[in-house]
């Protein structure tokens, strides 16, 4: 997917995304679980949490770029909102919002 997005072959990339909302839901659940696991550990490094956030934002951004690239801008914007709102922790949600806003306007 990353190579298709980088080469801007959005039409082909879109064929690999059957249900973008389901992908984002799965990724957000994973991020929520990973962050919750970190909270239970004594002295977990912030770098690990930041890495989880960056990976999530990268995955979401790829989907958003593909949707926008094939003319599904409204769906991309709705899913961007969904991707942020799906995060349980307020501080992680704020970090995701910042990370997604740095990746470009959708």
Alpha helices (H) along the chain: 2-6, 10-14, 20-39, 46-69, 73-85, 90-102
The per-residue pLDDT for range 66-98, each reduced to its tens digit, is 999 999 999 999 999 999 999 999 999 999 999
Number of domains forming the structure of the chain: 1
- Print the domain residue range for 24: 2-102
The per-residue pLDDT for range 14-50, each reduced to its tens digit, is 999 999 999 999 999 999 999 998 877 777 678 899 9
What are φ and ψ of residue 16, in 5° steps? -95, 0
Is 72 buried (19+), middle (13-18) or exposed (0-12) by CB count in 10 A?
Answer: middle
pTM of the model: 0.90
Q: Are 96 and 79 in contact (CB under 8 A)?
A: no
Tokens linked to 48: 């690990």
The alpha carbon torsion through 2, 31, 87, 82 (nearest 10 deg) reads: 30
């Amino acid at each position: 997917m990353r190579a298709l997005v980088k080469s801007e072959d959005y039409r082909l990339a879109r064929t690999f995304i059957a249900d973008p909302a389901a992908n984002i839901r799965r990724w957000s659940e994973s991020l929520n679980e990973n962050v919750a696991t970190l909270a239970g550990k004594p002295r977990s490094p912030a770098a690990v949490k930041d890495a989880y956030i960056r990976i999530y934002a990268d995955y979401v951004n790829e989907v958003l770029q593909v949707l926008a690239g094939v003319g599904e801008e409204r769906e991309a914007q709705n899913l961007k909102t969904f991707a942020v709102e799906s995060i349980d922790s307020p501080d992680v949600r704020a970090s995701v919002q910042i990370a997604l806003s740095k990746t470009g306007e959708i």
